[in-house]
Amino acid sequence: MQDEHGNTYGFGGNLSEIIVGEVVGRGLVGDIANIVGQIVAEGISLADIVDANVIFKLALFDEEFKKHDEHFIVEFLSSVMGTDDLPINLGYFVMDHEGRVIIVKDGTRIEFVKKDPENHLVVERSWNIREGLSPFLSEAAANHGIAQVIPTFDTGYWVMGLGKDSEQIPSFLAFVDDTGSVVDAIAFLDKINPAIESEIRHEVIQNGMAIDQDGVYIATDWALYKFTLDRSGRIRQNWRTAYERSSKDREKPGVLSKFGSGSTPTLFGKKDDLIAITDNADGRVNLMVYTREEGRPLYKIPLFHPNLSANENTVVAYEDSVVVQNWHNAPAMDENMEGLTPGLARYDLFPDRQSYPYIEWDPRSGPENEYVKECWFNEDFASTATIRLSTATGLLYGTVQLPSDRVRAEYAMTYIDFETGRKVKEVFLGRGMNYRIAMAPAYILPDGTLIQPVRAGMCVIKP
């Protein structure tokens, strides 16, 4: 994409050098910020300079912005979002290997959106799988809608729906082929699939999926699972590993997942053999690491300080290193991060890949042993958005709310050294409600440009 000045904007690039979300199957997992960021990046002519290195984009939904009648904004609002009540789910959207954004509309309609040569958004493919889900799921499960669609490494798509335990609305996992036909589906909370319903019928999915060439990994509010599709086209449960949940009278302040894990599984490891989540243990959550092949627990690492520990973010991992951030006392959907308990920690793991022994690390025994090392613990960083890592720069990026006695809160992009955990620099973004980040992470473009979605649009930080 190019603006009228010849500046190029885009996503993708050499992901061995710059990490932009998580590459899975034939797609790149992101969220609403990514597609909006791509579209808004083309609107460079509408920029309002607020800092020497920061460009703030006017609001997507602001009437003044629409008056400029930029065709890509109008096209996005009319073709993708459809109506004023925005019947679209971009919470866990995916961009596939052909540059198409996979979105969900009207609950169960899967659409593949791409730009044509004239730079207009077009829907290349559209499937409504509501009827296809009916033989496998209850009406309540199907009607609750799809939360995430991820292409596999070969053919077909894993499709997931979030449930709602309080209303007995089941979560579900489905497999859809390349024609949009539902091959199989299983429900969590429902008694649909006799082969596994005794294990999962009282559980709810509250986070996203992770996939590799072998299958799909899901954390419910009780356990971590691996599922695969067998030769007969049936979804098969490979393993289930339970983790520690929060007691009903020990809910942590600010968390979204009251009793279960708040983290989408992260696949990592020098040998592509590990998977990590955080549990929701009373008093102090743990980083839990398992083998992907068997779901065997490998590590249990207590995080942050007792009674000041929580997590709602996926962990960031590179090779055998893991970075986890604190969520204790988060403002949840209020977006004001004042009062959020700080904490950002990196752990290097040294698993014995011959026998894979289980390691419960006790921080009181020292910062390291032969199996694990706490590399650093940054007690100043606090953010509700998942941090980003660039392996090209060796930096972690996260937007924070600055300490201030001003009436309007101030926000900045913080750069953290991956090796030391120290803050390298800070770039001021702005002040006031328009700059609240709504829990959205930053995005890294191939040229090193950072895009931070904010409540009123985008902040673009040039390298």
pLDDT of residue 333: 59
Concatenating the DSSP letter of every residue in 303-328 gives -SBTTB----SPPEEETTEEEEE--T
- Dump pLDDT digits (tens) for 37-62: 333 333 322 222 223 233 333 233 33
* Torsional sign, CA 294, 296, 302, 306: positive
Q: Which helix (H) or strand (E) holds 112?
A: strand 109-115
Q: What is the reported pLDDT for 187? A: 85
Rounded mean pLDDT for each run of 10 residues along the chain, 463 residues in total: 29 26 43 34 28 32 35 34 41 76 88 83 91 88 87 93 77 95 84 47 84 94 95 94 89 82 93 96 96 96 94 92 93 72 96 92 84 96 90 92 78 95 93 79 82 80 84
If you ran DSSP here, which 8-state letter would residue 243 be given? -
| Token duo for residue 463 | 């390298």
CATH of 263-311+314-384, one of 1.10.760, 2.40.128, 2.60.40, 1.10.357: 2.40.128
Q: Which two tokens stand for residue 411?
A: 């926000």
* DSSP secondary structure code for residue 333 in this structure: G
User: Residue 364 — φ and ψ, nearest 5°?
Assistant: -70, -15
**pTM for the structure as a whole:** 0.81
- What pLDDT is attached to residue 21? 36
Angle CA 246–247–251, to nearest 5: 65
* Contact assessment for residue 442 and residue 413, using Cβ atoms and an 8 Å cutoff: yes
d(CA 264, CA 332): 17
Compute the C-alpha angle 85/87/90, nearest 5°: 115
